[in-house]
Amino acid sequence: MSRKVDSVKDINDSKETWRLAVRIMDVWSVVNNKGIEHLEMIVMDSLGDRIQVLIRHDHLLKWKEVIKENMTCIINNGSVYNNDFQWKILQGKCKTDRLEDIIGAVSEINHIQSNTPGKKIVVSVVLKDLKGNCINCNLWEIYGSKFLAYYNDPKNNGAIVILLTHAMVKDGQVSNAWSGSKLLINEDIHEIQDFMSKLPTNEQKEKPTQSAKSLSNWSGGSQYSPVERFVHNAKCMSLSQFCKIKHETLCVTVATTLKFVVSKYE
């Protein structure tokens, strides 16, 4: 006779003979500063309760190619780690990390740091929810590169809705986790398509703008040609409009050169 299945909500450190029937919701690899790799995953039982599971380095080769997202499995006799952090986000003895899934429309790109010696690429965007609330979101390294590749592709027009899983929440802003986050951009999944459909019609057609600061900071990684990059996000004006400008602006004007006038200072 097989042992009965336990519930995630009942787990504590009173024993190590727990038996869980779960679905693997997410799985990712973590490499520490010594180059040692292990697996982490989020699993959910039939009641909808979730818990994080770690597969140690010495078991990695056995399970790395076996474990896949959305598969179901039985976990037997796992060790339970106590919540020994000084600052506890939630009450309880088991460890908790504050990671959230966040979805929003990109309203502005306010900073781009290119990948230069001593610096890692980071793209800072402003995310806006359906109520108009905004929060800064920092996308580091491969996440920033993925966003820029999508943004700079001329085929991608209109609003950009992103879903960032396992986002780290800190000081009124969010960013991707170093391991485990996923960045989904305008993908054909229910959460993103439902969010997009609820945006005002005019916002669905508007591509996010780049602040002047982000334009000056970014010098590489664009997929535009030199001509496309020159006119990107710039307003086209006639010469008559151009001559009436009284403030700094980003614009393009097209005209025919009639003659060159040599300055006496040249």
Contact (CB, 8 A) for 257 and 242: no
CATH, residue 107: 2.40.50.140
Instruction: Work out the mean pLDDT of the chain and round it to a whole number.
Output: 80
DSSP designation for 48: S
**Strand intervals (E) in 32-86:** 37-44, 50-55, 72-76
Residue 210 tokens, joined: 């780049």
Can you give the pLDDT at residue 192? 94
Counting the structural domains of the chain, the total is 2
Domain membership of residue 240 (yes or no) is no
| Per-residue pLDDT band at 186 (split at 50, 70, 90) | very high
**Strand intervals (E) in 81-187:** 99-113, 122-128, 134-140, 161-170, 173-175, 183-185
- The whole-model pTM stands at 0.58
Question: Which helix (H) or strand (E) is 241 found in, with range?
Answer: helix 239-242
Residue-wise pLDDT for 210-233, tens only, equals 876 655 554 444 444 455 555 555
156 lies in which domain range? 99-212
Domain membership of residue 87 (yes or no) is no
**Nearest Cα residue to 158 out of 183, 192, 182:** 192
Contact (CB, 8 A) for 92 and 83: yes
Residue 89 has pLDDT above 80, yes or no: no
Contact (CB, 8 A) for 105 and 197: no
